[in-house]
Chains A and B, each alone.
Chain A
């Protein structure tokens, strides 16, 4: 397939590019970038004037739910949602049923994605067998089958000695451990941030210290073992300060923040709306401000959604009983544009940094740039498109979004994945 993207504003700070140009895509790669390119015969030519054209966005924290909860999401529906949200690649977390903790399970997800996925799927394997925190999972075997990182996401490895073992072993394979930072003896059955809101609503509190302590522990273990460590969904001002300190010491630590922790606070949980129940919970306005500051100064490397689809009948349970999580793939980019780009808080180069470059660097994925020879993973963004977040908006099989009812602007119009047009005029292109 040959494709010419004409007249878009190309933004790629990796190569210092920000200006109108054309991109010619051939055989899955960028063949040429320049002004006034002509489409070869039989090439599809798309007018991208008014659009922002960037290296394909990557979400390093997604729950695809397959295998086990195909009623909530599958590799197909999850990657459709990713495409709809402007992402050309996702990293799939291993807390499926069964847990993705062996090479053959990694292969299953990878093959499902290769056969039917709309965007690229990078598989994250578990750190410990069954995510039970008790014995090493077959990390080497999983790497041999294509796993890119390891995590017990959904929970943390509680025992520090066990986490050390994971990190020491992972280092042999030069891979990355993704840590979900939660000290369970402090968090207990907490469901909302401990403080004003937990008191007012009579809900069990999840204290910020329950995250901070594990962020610090995991940073110390990264220091001890030298293992590359990525901190998932940091949610507290304390975590930001700890990560800042770790980076100043030159430790191999990276971190992500979710859109919901950036753009919502505990005060939004005023009614018992289970779409606002997530783990870690929504924090205070001060925490959200610290997260944004950390994202802007580079302490926090990237935005990742923790896309967590859940069946409606499970989210409709009592707040204390309902599962944690919000979907995120299809709202992240509109939120970043509406809440950060429009007010001038973040420029387009910054968007590329936090949604395309840094995610790849955190997991050491292949570089993608708007230059000749690069893999042709490209997102074409319409910064003016109006997006109403309703249940009908989603490609995801689930619609448990914390942002339902909001009207945002800015959305992906096209995405190209390995040279294939996977989203066209806002519609997912089936394979």
Chain B
């Protein structure tokens, strides 16, 4: 077995189908580690991983931090409120500074698309994109694939409905690409006000009507409604949104019995997903969170040349 074909995990488009398979398979063994009493491997001992989160995040940052620590890496969190325009220091200088501290891997979240590419360009470390603007969030897509595969036993041929604010969602940006790579069928479901200009270029089918495609779905992936938007809301009310695009008990009942419901979190209960669905046995949302740690461990391990080290799980 050789390592990943990519030096960084910035865009799913940079990964091959084999890379994705390798991350998922490696994550399987790390998942088992996470179920032990002693959840720690010496694999990345002595390696330094920096979580550079320049946009507020608790869940993703915690997941990366736990992943790094379970591999015995020295994980350091750096947070801040983004860009030079407010902060004084440019991303370039931040990158150079961190580079001077000799870190091995950097996980970056930033409000601007391309920030992870930029870091990769100006430092020697490996880079994992922890979310760049409206562009991509690849480890989320990888953990989603991992969770789908465990729940449904396969990825190829699955029809996955991604419902909600596709236009502003980096989760959707990565997931659509990743689903295409593994031979699944992504369908983005939203009113045009929540769609990017050309969802077809990412390889997604488009529907404006959840109820039309619901019977075809193996997975209903509900995106978070961003209620904190500054500009005009792209739909009239939360109530209307929930009526047309929310997952609720009635919709669940009309879907395939094996269809599962996913959500990248944090949820707005009663908006994109009703409480009863969120807590039902058809929801695999907590499995996603659980998978997050294992998949991020796999990503870090594989990027840092883990396959060559002797401490594989």
Mark A residues whose CB is within 8 Å of B: 188, 194-196, 198-205, 207, 271-272, 313, 316-321
- Contact indicator A196/B201 (Cβ below 8 Å): yes
What is the bound-complex CA distance between A272 and B120, given in angstroms? 12
| The one of B117, B134, B199, B231 that contacts A203, using a Cβ cutoff of 8 Å | B134
Interface of A (DSSP majority class): loop
Residue of B nearest to A318 (CB): B112
- Contact indicator A319/B114 (Cβ below 8 Å): yes
Chain A CB within 8 A of B173 CB:
yes
Chain A CB within 8 A of B115 CB:
yes
| The one of B83, B111, B197 that contacts A198, using a Cβ cutoff of 8 Å | B197
Residue of A nearest to B195 (CB): A199
- Contact indicator A317/B84 (Cβ below 8 Å): yes
CB proximity of B172 to chain A, nearest CB, Å: 10
Interface size on B, residues (CB 8 A): 28
- Contact indicator B135/A318 (Cβ below 8 Å): no
Within 8 A of A (CB), among B160-204: 170, 173, 196-199, 201-202
Within 8 A of A (CB), among B184-234: 196-199, 201-202, 231
**Can you list, as one digit per residue, whether each of B84-101 has a CB less than 8 Å from chain A (1) or not (0)?**
110000111000000000
**Can you list, as one digit per residue, whether each of B102-145 has a CB less than 8 Å from chain A (1) or not (0)?**
00000000111111011000000000000011111000000000
User: A313 to chain B: which residues have CB within 8 Å?
Assistant: 90
User: A200 to chain B: which residues have CB within 8 Å?
Assistant: 201-202
- Contact indicator A320/B113 (Cβ below 8 Å): yes
Q: A317-B83, A318-B114 are in contact. Are A199 and B132 (CB under 8 A)?
A: no
| The one of A188, A205, A272 that contacts B117, using a Cβ cutoff of 8 Å | A272
Residue of A nearest to B13 (CB): A200
- Contact indicator B133/A202 (Cβ below 8 Å): yes
Mark B residues whose CB is within 8 Å of A: 83-85, 90-92, 110-115, 117-118, 132-136, 170, 173, 196-199, 201-202, 231
What is the bound-complex CA distance between A202 and B168, given in angstroms? 8
CB proximity of B165 to chain A, nearest CB, Å: 13
CB proximity of A365 to chain B, nearest CB, Å: 39
Q: Quick one: which of B115, B196, B231 has the most chain A CB within 10 A? A: B196
Q: A201-B113, A316-B90, A321-B83 are in contact. Are A195 and B135 (CB under 8 A)?
A: no
What is the bound-complex CA distance between A182 and B83, given in angstroms? 26
**9 residue pairs A–B, Cβ–Cβ below 8 Å:** A195-B197, A196-B198, A199-B196, A199-B198, A199-B202, A200-B202, A317-B83, A317-B92, A319-B112
User: A198 to chain B: which residues have CB within 8 Å?
Assistant: 196-198
| The one of B117, B202, B231 that contacts A271, using a Cβ cutoff of 8 Å | B117
User: B132 to chain A: which residues have CB within 8 Å?
Assistant: 202
Q: A317-B83, A317-B91, A321-B85 are in contact. Are A203 and B113 (CB under 8 A)?
A: yes
Q: A199-B201, A200-B202, A202-B132 are in contact. Are A319 and B83 (CB under 8 A)?
A: no
What is the bound-complex CA distance between A200 and B13, given in angstroms? 10
What is the bound-complex CA distance between A201 and B134, given in angstroms? 8
14 more contacts with CB within 8 A, not counting A318-B113, A319-B114, are A195-B197, A198-B196, A199-B202, A200-B201, A201-B135, A202-B133, A202-B135, A317-B84, A317-B85, A317-B90, A318-B112, A318-B118, A320-B113, A321-B84
User: B91 to chain A: which residues have CB within 8 Å?
Assistant: 317-318
- Contact indicator B198/A195 (Cβ below 8 Å): yes
User: B135 to chain A: which residues have CB within 8 Å?
Assistant: 201-203
- Contact indicator A272/B198 (Cβ below 8 Å): no
| The one of B133, B197, B202 that contacts A205, using a Cβ cutoff of 8 Å | B197
- Contact indicator A318/B115 (Cβ below 8 Å): yes
Q: A188-B231, A317-B84, A317-B90 are in contact. Are A201 and B114 (CB under 8 A)?
A: yes
